[in-house]
Structure 1
Amino acid sequence: MDANNRTARVAGLLYLLTVVTGIFSLIVVPSRVDAHGDAAMAVTNIVSNELIFRLGIASGALGYVAFLILPLALYKLLSSVNRDMAVLMVALAVACVPIYFVALANQMDILSLVDGDKYKQLFTPDQLRERVMLLMDAYNHKVFVSEIFWGLWLLPFGYLVFKSGFLPKVLGILLMMGCFSYLISYFAQIVFPHATIPSFVMLPATFGEIGICLWLLIVGVRKPKHAVG
């Protein structure tokens, strides 16, 4: 139990790091630089908030390194419940990591364009702004694709939590529902690009992920009431 509690708290810490850096890089930074399709304003916002933009890249990289290690810690904790589901959980989680790091390269390319004299000499201001917008779209599209895997890995993860006997079943249910929250959000935006996705759609994922993060970090694991079959 002591070893499992240590593993649970490591996983909780990694999860918390993933959540905090994700909020900063995926919510706070875009709120400072998003220009809603205005190329000139986008370049102005990035230049005037360059430190925030760079911190967003750094926090994104840190968060995804943590997210790469997180499923391995969870595998150590939950593989005894069902090894095949644990392997599936790890595979679906890590699948989005290379996609996101390619997206980070797009952000670094943006910095090269707006911060390098070489490119200012090669391109007119309008051409430079167009390239910045293309790279911003490329970044956003890759992050959007990652959303599929943000959802898919929660299904085996939630199942393992539910069946474990040493973690709350309600959190397992919320995590499994959270899988469909992400998938509904993703496919709704693909099929109905101008529709507004109701905020309640993402509530199971939000409560499930934050709940399991805090439970692992603060509570750890409890003694199973019965052996896992």
Structure 2
Amino acid sequence: MEQELVAAALAAARARGRDVADVPLAAIAAAAGVSRSTLLRRLGGTRAPLDEAVRRAGVDPGGRPPAKERAIAAAATLIAEQGLGATTLDAVAAAADCALPTLHGLFDGRDGLLTAVFDRYGPLPDLEALAADPPDDLTELVREVHRAIITAFAREPRVLPAIFADACGRPGGPGHAMLKAMVPRTSESLWALLGTHITAGRLQPLPFPILVQLLLGPIATHMLLRPTLETTPGTELPSVEEIAETLATAYLRAVAA
């Protein structure tokens, strides 16, 4: 019976060019030569047994995100909850419900997967989008960069704090490697944002890495420490928006020509 229904489901999916999970039960019932009600009765009232039977036959029934997306999301959750040390390919494969060889093929190993996670949950997407259409005003530009860093640190699951914690605790560990791998792209985006103002003489003639550290360091440090400070008795913090505005003003006071 299972083979008959699986064959009907696969045939209906091929005929429509869709995943099995996206094919209506009525179409699968027609391919099996039974009524929809009869099919549901044989399945116990839900299509879940059919999708599982298709999966046992070696075919992904679909109806869920691709393996790459599931793996990135699963790895991000593991990093946030258990740290980088616990985020092995075996653990990610189990959490994402995909085969270990599939992960190796999709990401070229653990380093590739971790890089993909940082690319998704770190500040780079927002910084690159900002660099593609930057504000002309220097003050607003600094504010937008700070907002991008704040957004990345607050993004769930909390991947970025876990990466920084690992990098600080293990200078030769995967967190350090992830941050280092993103330096070229981060520098490229920040040069696209600051380069025009540097060339125009609106910023002090400091080395570019120093300008970047002064821009990112204070807000990143605050976002790293804020969860601890918020839970410390007797400590009352301004809002994140107030902190960002204060740091943006301090940055411009320090480096603007």
TM-score range, shorter chain: under 0.3
Q: Using CA pairs under 8 Å that are at least 6 residues apart, name the structure with larger relative contact order, 1 or 2.
A: 1
Q: TM-score, normalised by structure 1?
A: 0.26
Q: TM-score, normalised by structure 2?
A: 0.24
- Larger helix percent: 1
The structure whose Rg is larger is: 2
